[in-house]
Amino acid sequence: MIEGELVTSMPLDEDTMKFIEAEFGKMLGGKVRFNTSIDESIIGGFVARINGRVYDGSLLSRLSTMREYITDF
Amino acid sequence: MEIFLRPLDLLFHIVNVLILFFFLRWLLYKPVKKFLRQRDERAEAAREEIRRGQEEVESRLRHYNELIENAREESARIVKQSNDLARDHAKEIVESAKAEANEIVARAEREAQYTRAHAKDVLRDEIAGMAVDIASKIVKREISAEDNRAIIEDFFKKVG
């Protein structure tokens, strides 16, 4: 069992939660379980911390990338 | 009244005339001749003196003319040299001014270019910030649970 922390912008339904755990399980090769918390500043998506690694799938991260892309264009 | 001249008297007169002639010749001719010769010699000496004087004058005249000519050539050379020097100096000043002007223009262009680029960067950064802020606000307001699920699925599609 791999434990991690999951931050989302809004509460997730059970199906979405299972989907995330299953995807991380496939990725890391084991069953994954998250402690969840809400942070509206990430706007959408999630930020997961597992075994010291951060998986940033938030909309805030995408918008930041978009801002850097526009700035560097 | 008739005058009869006897031959002996005639001879006597002739002899008297001859004696008088030679006496006068001895008495007057040589001093006069000497005086005339001396006068000629003085005149010749004076002419020689005048000739030498004229030659001296002509020589000095030639010398002064040469000096004047040399001075004229020297002054012309100095004037030409001064003109050349002034022209070169003026040329140097003009070239220096041109170089300085070019440098000023180049510096101004560099500064303008830098200012434009900096202003562009600032503007781009502000536009990007504004766009992202607006997008963030809109997305925060509009995002639904379905949208959120789609974002999550999209992450795993990309990672996987």
Residue of B nearest to A70 (CA): B128
Using CA atoms, how far apart are residues A14 and A20, in angstroms rounded to an integer?
A: 10
Dihedral angle sign, alpha carbons of residues B131, B132, B137, B139:
positive
Measured CA angle at B79 (ends B77, B82), to 5 deg: 105
pLDDT of residue A7: 97
**Structure tokens belonging to residue B119:** 């202003």
pTM here?
0.55
Using CA atoms, how far apart are residues A24 and A6, in angstroms rounded to an integer?
A: 11
pLDDT in tens, B22-64: 888 888 888 888 999 999 999 999 999 999 999 999 999 999 9
Contact A27, B160 (CB under 8 A): yes
Stated as kind and residue range, the H or E segment containing B1 is none
DSSP lists the bridge partners of residue A49 as: A5, A54
* Cβ within 8 Å, pair A45-B152: yes
Residues of A with CB below 8 A from B144's CB? Answer: none
Using CA atoms, how far apart are residues A66 and A49, in angstroms rounded to an integer?
A: 23
Scanning A23-52 for CB atoms below 8 A from B yields 23, 26-27, 40, 43-46
Sheet with strand A2-8: strands edge to edge: A32-38, A2-8, A46-50, A53-56
Reported confidence tier of residue B1, pLDDT bands at 50, 70, 90 = low
DSSP lists the bridge partners of residue A7 as: A37, A47
* Cβ within 8 Å, pair B148-A40: no
Residues of A with CB below 8 A from B134's CB? Answer: none
Using CA atoms, how far apart are residues A23 and A54, in angstroms rounded to an integer?
A: 15
pLDDT in tens, chain A (73 residues): 899 999 999 999 999 999 999 999 999 999 999 999 999 999 999 999 999 999 999 999 999 998 888 888 7
The distance between the two most distant Cα atoms of chain B, rounded to a whole number of Å, is: 202
